[in-house]
Amino acid sequence: MADSQAFACTAVLPPPRGEVSAALVEILRRLPAEHPSFPDVVDPDPYGEDLQLALHLCYELHYHGFEAVDPAWEWDPELLRLRAELERPFLDALRGDVKGGEDVREELSRLLIEPIEAADISQYLLQEGDWAQLREYLAQRSIYHHKEGDPHAWAIPRLFGQEKASLVAVEFDEFGGGRGERLHAQLFRDLLTGAGLDNGYLHYLDSTPAPMLAVVNMMSLFGLHRRWRGALVGQLANAEITSSPSARRMVEALEKLNAPIECVRFYAEHVEADAVHEQVMRHDVVENLLRHEPALAESVAFGIQATNLLEDRFSAHVLGSWRAGQSSLRVTT
Ligand SMILES: [Fe+2]
Ligand SMILES: [Fe+2]
């Protein structure tokens, strides 16, 4: 079935947010054969705007790339060296800011506890959110949902047996079950259109602050490095387990604000699908993975914990901005 809706499928390079991202944007405007000089990454803020945008630019080369940027940059050794220099402080910060351990069962069961009301964006939107705040939230989340399921596809060739078959079953749903118009990324584009927002790929990248970029960068980091396949599975398990109740609240919030049906459809789909995905991830993927590769327990637990950490940081940023009467976006839509 044909994709019915035209949309911009390549992003434009965004304005930089500091020294490293400024140097990287200049580099990407040139050709690898010109051998532009690369910046040093000195004492970066691991969660800061400059590092997170620079990392996002490096990773995007492995997805759709940017308009007028040479695709050869994807595997340029100097660019990969810079990416490694950006990944190191980010990973160190994540490792240092979570409690660690390898009790995956305990980590998974903790996800079933409902989030504290005051710290949860979907609860806020349901109880006191307005349409402008809802649009802000959708604009930032689009940076992830435009590539929904994509970073996790990198896990497929790195798994065996039932865990591989079951992860592919989850991904089959994320990718629309064979129907382009049912791709979850497409459902989100329809949602953006319904909300009067631009549905172009990464259209809101410049508007999106570091806390959301960090969530997406973490998935790309775990996806691109085979050694972090356990963490990638942990991240996906976390997302699937926590998604269904929050999607239900989003449906209620959207209906309360009389949002068009296209907006409701994306979250309604996730109430149903993720209730199933939760069970598949928990029992068929995680349990089998740890039975076959028990040494990955620490990595899976890390993926779950790091996801909590970065989602909490994102919620704190958004809710903190709204409660202060400010926009949570860098550039308003
Ligand atoms: Fe989905
Ligand atoms: Fe899902």
**Residues 70-113: pLDDT tens digits?**
999 999 999 999 999 999 999 999 999 999 999 999 999 999 88
How far is the centre of ligand 1, averaged over its atoms, from the C-alpha of 262 (Å)?
A: 15
Q: What is the pLDDT of residue 5?
A: 54
How far is the centre of ligand 1, averaged over its atoms, from the C-alpha of 324 (Å)?
A: 31
pLDDT digit string (tens) for 153-173? 999 999 999 999 999 999 999
How far is the centre of ligand 1, averaged over its atoms, from the C-alpha of 164 (Å)?
A: 18
How far is the centre of ligand 2, averaged over its atoms, from the C-alpha of 239 (Å)?
A: 8
Q: How much of the chain is in helix, strand and coil states, percent to nearest 5?
A: 70, 0, 30
63 contacts: CB under 8 Å, gap ≥ 6: 147, 150
Asked whether the predicted pLDDT for residue 332 surpasses 80, the reply is: no
How far is the centre of ligand 2, averaged over its atoms, from the C-alpha of 248 (Å)?
A: 13
CB 145 within 8 A of CB 212: no
Both tokens assigned to 193: 């259109």
How far is the centre of ligand 2, averaged over its atoms, from the C-alpha of 274 (Å)?
A: 5
Closest ligand to C-alpha of residue 186 is 1
How far is the centre of ligand 1, averaged over its atoms, from the C-alpha of 79 (Å)?
A: 31
How far is the centre of ligand 1, averaged over its atoms, from the C-alpha of 135 (Å)?
A: 19
Query: CA 171, CA 140: separation in Å to the nearest integer?
Result: 23
Closest ligand to C-alpha of residue 174 is 1
How far is the centre of ligand 1, averaged over its atoms, from the C-alpha of 76 (Å)?
A: 32
Closest ligand to C-alpha of residue 269 is 1
How far is the centre of ligand 1, averaged over its atoms, from the C-alpha of 197 (Å)?
A: 20
Q: What is the pLDDT of residue 324?
A: 97
% of the chain exceeding 90 in pLDDT: 91
Question: Considering the entire predicted model, what is its pTM?
Answer: 0.96
Closest ligand to C-alpha of residue 272 is 2
Band of pLDDT at residue 1, cut at 50, 70 and 90: very low
Q: What is the pLDDT of residue 6?
A: 60
Degrees, nearest 5: CA angle 265-210-149: 40
CB 13 within 8 A of CB 46: no
CB 274 within 8 A of CB 244: yes
How far is the centre of ligand 1, averaged over its atoms, from the C-alpha of 299 (Å)?
A: 23
pLDDT digit string (tens) for 130-147? 999 999 999 999 999 999
How far is the centre of ligand 1, averaged over its atoms, from the C-alpha of 174 (Å)?
A: 5
- Which residues sit opposite 11 in a β-bridge? 66
pLDDT digit string (tens) for 190-199? 999 999 999 9
Q: What is the pLDDT of residue 2?
A: 46
How far is the centre of ligand 1, averaged over its atoms, from the C-alpha of 273 (Å)?
A: 8
How many helices (H) and strands (E) the chain has is answered by 14, 0
Please state, rounded to an integer, the average pLDDT across all residues of the chain: 95
Band of pLDDT at residue 333, cut at 50, 70 and 90: low
pLDDT digit string (tens) for 277-291? 999 999 999 999 999
How far is the centre of ligand 1, averaged over its atoms, from the C-alpha of 30 (Å)?
A: 36
Summarize the confidence of residues 3-26 as an average pLDDT: 86
Closest ligand to C-alpha of residue 280 is 2
How far is the centre of ligand 1, averaged over its atoms, from the C-alpha of 271 (Å)?
A: 10
How far is the centre of ligand 2, averaged over its atoms, from the C-alpha of 330 (Å)?
A: 29
Summarize the confidence of residues 263-276 as an average pLDDT: 93
Query: CA 195, CA 53: separation in Å to the nearest integer?
Result: 26
